[in-house]
Chains A and B, each alone.
Chain A
Amino acid sequence: MSYSRIAERFLQLVPVLFGVSVIVFLMITLTPGDPVEIMLADQRATEEQIAALRRDMGLDKPLAERFFHFLVNAVQGDFGLSFFHRRPVIDVIAERLPATIELTLASMLVAIMVAIPLGVMAAVRRDTWLDRACTVGGLFGVSMPGFWFGILLILLFAVELRLLPVGGRLGYDYEVARITGMVLIDSLLAGRLDSFRNALAHIALPALTLGLPSAALLMRVTRASMVEVLAADYITFAEAKGLSRLRVLARHALKNALIPTVTVAAIETGALLGGNMIVETVFGWPGLGRLVVESIFARNYPLVQAAVLLYALTYVLLNFVADILYTTLNPRVRL
């Protein structure tokens, strides 16, 4: 893809994000009742306090002006204060985000490591028991509710077998200097193998819970595209050249078959980032998802606004990345 095409695709993101901003902005306005009263409902606020908050949030100004301010501030990363934390929303989010990113990446890694070998084997050994087992497992994986699966894993590995810890990212005995905010990486950067192992044990169950349904999806995508690729003439022709079976599969087939897998994986990463609220809650994972859930219950609107906007932004960006990957991997559509 040429740079001008990339720039063009990038510019197409602007209207989408604008639309999301409008919706996010209207969240407060459209909430039935006086948002300020609702927000302060549990805090026995005085009339003055309510009036002060209304002024702070600019609710006494006309709608258009408020939206303009919201946009200008949002672009600068200013989403106001989180009442609950009494700190800027953006700081609170920045603190929690690395945990979510870490969990998302670990889940995607699990998904890819499970999906690609199984998808390829299911396609190569098509219509055998292995293929059928993968199909059934895949169906199970995509249709199973994540929290339910998470609870099953907790019961098995944490309660019954007592193999893995549950809750949090790191045992209390460990402490690692925060560099990236991702405990696994920070442990490695600090050369602390012990805390790396401990963090790995903590992330294992939530990453499996989040990753396996994605694995099921990616496996189905990989299998389907691999089946199609294996029937292609260029596979027969590659074999006619006398190439080994392994080379034919690993090079000629896989390079084509993985194009849809990689694309779907990028989109799925966006879905994972935004879809882990339940899993984070079940596993007490101190990430953005759990923060959002807490904030919704606490009617912490500024934080929810910022988080929704962030989800939309990453989702849209990852779709954009998927597009670029697809064209880069596929010489036929490379422009």
Chain B
Amino acid sequence: MSAPAAASMPLDDAVPAPGALLSVRDLRTVFPTRRGIVQAVDGVDLDVMPGEALGVVGESGSGKSVTFLSVLGLIRPPGTVTAETLRFEGFDLMRLSATERRRLRGRAMALTMQDALSALNPAFTVGTQIMEGLLTHGIVANARAAREEAVALMGRVGIPSAAARVDEYPHQFSGGMRQRIMIAIALAARPRLLIADEPTTALDVTIRAQVLDLIDDLRQSEGMALVLITHDLGVVAERTERLAVMYAGQIVETGPTAAVLAAPRHPYTRGLLASLPRLDAPDSPIQAIPGQVPDLTRLPPGCRFRERCPLAVAACAEPVLLAPVGPDRAARCIRTEALAS
């Protein structure tokens, strides 16, 4: 883990980490709904250094996707995004015009979405969908060059006989191949940051490894930074250097992946680890965290994990901040020492 300490300590200081590719401070995203205001992201701080791989984990609905859709500027009204700092490569994203932000999207920061089948437009061939980004960003001069580049990209992400399949529609590909096409689209402009939202959830185990290897290869060759959003702690352990654990719209623990997984300092992280099937003792019962994620329209003022936390005490009903808990590490819990022992 080579990132400087400041980069990994997204505490209450609003100063972006020096040299960070992406700096986020106090990001908040809300959606007004019939049921009330959904606080989907509530004060997220994080940094991504150039070339680094950050894992983001958390239960369904914890705000992982919304956090990074907010970073990309893809939250639609009536949803609103505010942030104290939202910097990318020295650009203050909150101050850019819609057009300037659009120019960064797809070109410098790219996204692959959770479900490739629904992310690809059923009405256009995959070739058209790959070419579009290339042409929009002026990466190639004309449609012919774009087509050649599209075929080359498909080959690069491991699609056999790409030249023959470039004119096929998304539904004509298998799930793994669609995932690769989506990655090809995301990588078309050689972005500095790839946000991969659950790139492997829909895939079976062998394809899963292939897709992750592919992303790793591209990271190595292009020096691209990666945000890997996933439910899979095994994938995070293997593929990322740093980890952010989200719960109910907040980061509850962050630090070097290996250190966090070896000795979690937040009861939620520990619960996630305990709910993994264990390789060393496959027959031991899986302990899912009991209880449910709190209603994002009626969040309690104190620790949001309180209802489900085995260590909860009366003081947990007071607001809890993300605080340093060791080298490069922070946790949002007042009883971290109880976990350290």
A239 close to B (CB within 8 Å): yes
Report B-chain residues with C-beta under 8 Å of the C-beta of A54: none
Closest Cβ–Cβ distance, residue A249 to chain B (whole Å)? 13
18 chain-A/chain-B pairs, Cβ below 8 angstroms: A233-B113, A233-B114, A234-B118, A234-B122, A239-B102, A239-B105, A240-B106, A240-B113, A241-B106, A241-B132, A242-B104, A242-B106, A243-B106, A243-B132, A244-B136, A255-B121, A255-B124, A329-B123
B107 close to A (CB within 8 Å): yes
Instruction: Give the residue of B122, B123, B169, B185 whose beta carbon is less than 8 angstroms from that of A241.
Output: B185
Is the Cβ of A331 less than 8 Å from the Cβ of B171? yes
Interface 1/0s, chain B 87-126, versus A by CB < 8 A? 0000000000010001111110011011100111111100
A117 to B267 CA separation, bound complex (whole angstroms): 54
Instruction: Give the residue of A236, A242, A247, A251 whose beta carbon is less than 8 angstroms from that of B113.
Output: A236
Report A-chain residues with C-beta under 8 Å of the C-beta of B114: 233
Sort chain B's interface into a size bin: 20 to 34
Closest Cβ–Cβ distance, residue B106 to chain A (whole Å)? 3
A242 to B113 CA separation, bound complex (whole angstroms): 15
B140 close to A (CB within 8 Å): no
The size of the chain A interface, using a CB distance under 8 A, is: 22
B143 close to A (CB within 8 Å): no
A234 to B132 CA separation, bound complex (whole angstroms): 13
Q: Sorted from nearest, which 7 A-B pairs have the closest CB atoms?
A: A242-B106, A233-B118, A241-B106, A237-B119, A240-B111, A242-B105, A241-B133
Is the Cβ of A242 less than 8 Å from the Cβ of B69? no
A85 close to B (CB within 8 Å): no
A327 close to B (CB within 8 Å): no
Closest Cβ–Cβ distance, residue A324 to chain B (whole Å)? 17
Report A-chain residues with C-beta under 8 Å of the C-beta of B98: 245
Binding site for B on A (CB under 8 A): 232-234, 236-245, 247, 251-252, 255-256, 329-332
Is the Cβ of B121 less than 8 Å from the Cβ of A256? yes
Instruction: Give the residue of B69, B120, B133 whose beta carbon is less than 8 angstroms from that of A243.
Output: B133
Binding site for A on B (CB under 8 A): 69, 72, 74, 98, 102-107, 110-111, 113-115, 118-124, 132-133, 136-137, 169, 171, 182, 185-186, 189
Is the Cβ of A331 less than 8 Å from the Cβ of B169? yes
Report B-chain residues with C-beta under 8 Å of the C-beta of A237: 111, 113, 119-121, 182, 185
A239 to B114 CA separation, bound complex (whole angstroms): 15
Report B-chain residues with C-beta under 8 Å of the C-beta of A239: 74, 102, 105
Closest Cβ–Cβ distance, residue B128 to chain A (whole Å)? 9
- Chain B: CB-nearest residue to A231: B76
Report B-chain residues with C-beta under 8 Å of the C-beta of A244: 102, 136
Report B-chain residues with C-beta under 8 Å of the C-beta of A238: 121, 132
- Chain B: CB-nearest residue to A233: B118
Report A-chain residues with C-beta under 8 Å of the C-beta of B110: 240
Report B-chain residues with C-beta under 8 Å of the C-beta of A240: 72, 74, 105-106, 110-111, 113, 186
Is the Cβ of B121 less than 8 Å from the Cβ of A234? yes
Closest Cβ–Cβ distance, residue B80 to chain A (whole Å)? 15
Instruction: Give the residue of A236, A241, A245, A329 whose beta carbon is less than 8 angstroms from that of B69.
Output: A236
Report B-chain residues with C-beta under 8 Å of the C-beta of A242: 102-107, 133, 136-137, 189
A247 to B115 CA separation, bound complex (whole angstroms): 22
Report B-chain residues with C-beta under 8 Å of the C-beta of A251: 124
A256 to B120 CA separation, bound complex (whole angstroms): 12
Is the Cβ of B133 less than 8 Å from the Cβ of A234? no
Closest Cβ–Cβ distance, residue A118 to chain B (whole Å)? 20
